[in-house]
Structure 1
Amino acid sequence: MLTFGEGTVWTAAENRYETMPYRRVGDSGLKLPAISLGLWHNFGDDRPVTGMRETLRRAFDLGITHFDLANNYGPPAGSAELNFGRIMREDFARYRQELVISSKAGWKMWPGPYGGVGGSRKYLVDSLDQSLQRMGLDHVDVFYHHRPDPETPLEETMRALDHIVRSGRATYVGVSSYSADLTLEAQRIMRELGTPLLIHQPSYSMLNRWVEEPVAEADGKNLLAALAECGMGSIAFSPLAQGMLTDKYLDGVPEGSRAAAQSSLNPDWLTEQTLEGIRTLNEMARDRDQTLAQMAIAWVLRPQEQGQVTSALVGASSARQLEDSARAVRNLEFSADELRRIDELVTDADVNIWGAATASKHA
Structure 2
Amino acid sequence: MSHYQPDAHRYSCLPYRRCGRSGLKLPAVSLGLWHNFGGVDRFENARALVRCAFDHGITHFDLANNYGPPPGSAEETFGALLAGDLKPWRDELVISTKAGYTMWPGPYGDWGSRKYLVASLDQSLRRMGLDYVDIFYHHRPDPETPLEETMAALAHIVKSGKALYVGLSNYPAELTRRAAALLRELGTPCLIHQPRYSMLDRWVEGGLLDALADEGIGGIAFSPLAQGVLTDRYFGGEIPADSRAARGAFLKPEQITAEKLALVRALNDIAAARGQKLAQMALSWLLRQPAISSVLIGASRPEQILDAVGAANAAPLAQDELAAIEALLRKP
TM-score exceeds 0.5: yes
Specify which of 115, 119, 130 is matched with residue 126 of structure 1.
Answer: 119
Specify which of 201, 226, 233 is matched with residue 241 of structure 1.
Answer: 226
Structure 2 Cα separation of the partners of residues 332 and 70 of structure 1: 33
Do the aligned partners of residues 180 and 8 (structure 1) sit closer, same or farther apart at CA in structure 2, a change above 3 Å counting? closer
Alignment RMSD: 1.3
Specify which of 252, 258, 281 is matched with residue 266 of structure 1.
Answer: 252
TM-superposed deviation, 1:37: 0.1
Equivalenced residue count is 331
Structure 2 Cα separation of the partners of residues 8 and 248 of structure 1: 35
Specify which of 275, 278, 281 is matched with residue 289 of structure 1.
Answer: 275
TM-superposed deviation, 1:308: 2.7
AA at the equivalent of 1:165: V
**Contact 2:2/2:85 (<8 A) preserved:** no
TM-superposed deviation, 1:284: 1.1
Specify which of 134, 155, 166 is matched with residue 173 of structure 1.
Answer: 166
Secondary structure at the aligned position of 1:174 is classed as strand
**Contact 2:38/2:68 (<8 A) preserved:** yes
Specify which of 84, 105, 108 is matched with residue 111 of structure 1.
Answer: 105
TM-superposed deviation, 1:19: 2.1
TM-score, normalised with respect to structure 2: 0.97
What does 1:123-162 correspond to in 2, within 5 Å?
A: 123-162=116-155
- Show structure 1 runs of 5+ residues with no match: 1-6, 214-221, 350-363
Partner of 2:194: 201
Verify: 1:224 aligned to 2:209, yes or no. Answer: yes
**Contact 1:277/1:345 (<8 A) preserved:** yes
Partner of 2:303: 320
Structure 2 Cα separation of the partners of residues 32 and 75 of structure 1: 27
Structure 2 Cα separation of the partners of residues 271 and 188 of structure 1: 42
TM-score, normalised with respect to structure 1: 0.89
**Contact 2:2/2:84 (<8 A) preserved:** no
Specify which of 91, 95, 99 is matched with residue 97 of structure 1.
Answer: 91
TM-superposed deviation, 1:182: 0.3
Verify: 1:329 aligned to 2:317, yes or no. Answer: no
Partner of 2:36: 42
Partner of 1:358: none
- Show structure 2 runs of 5+ residues with no match: none
Partner of 1:217: none
TM-superposed deviation, 1:324: 1.7
TM-superposed deviation, 1:318: 1.6
TM-superposed deviation, 1:269: 2.1
Do the aligned partners of residues 332 and 175 (structure 1) sit closer, same or farther apart at CA in structure 2, a change above 3 Å counting? farther
Partner of 1:309: 292
Structure 1 Cα separation of the partners of residues 202 and 56 of structure 2: 29
Structure 2 Cα separation of the partners of residues 332 and 301 of structure 1: 11
Q: Give deviations 1:130-160, integer Å, cap 9, x for gaps.
A: 0000000000000000000001100000000
Partner of 2:266: 280
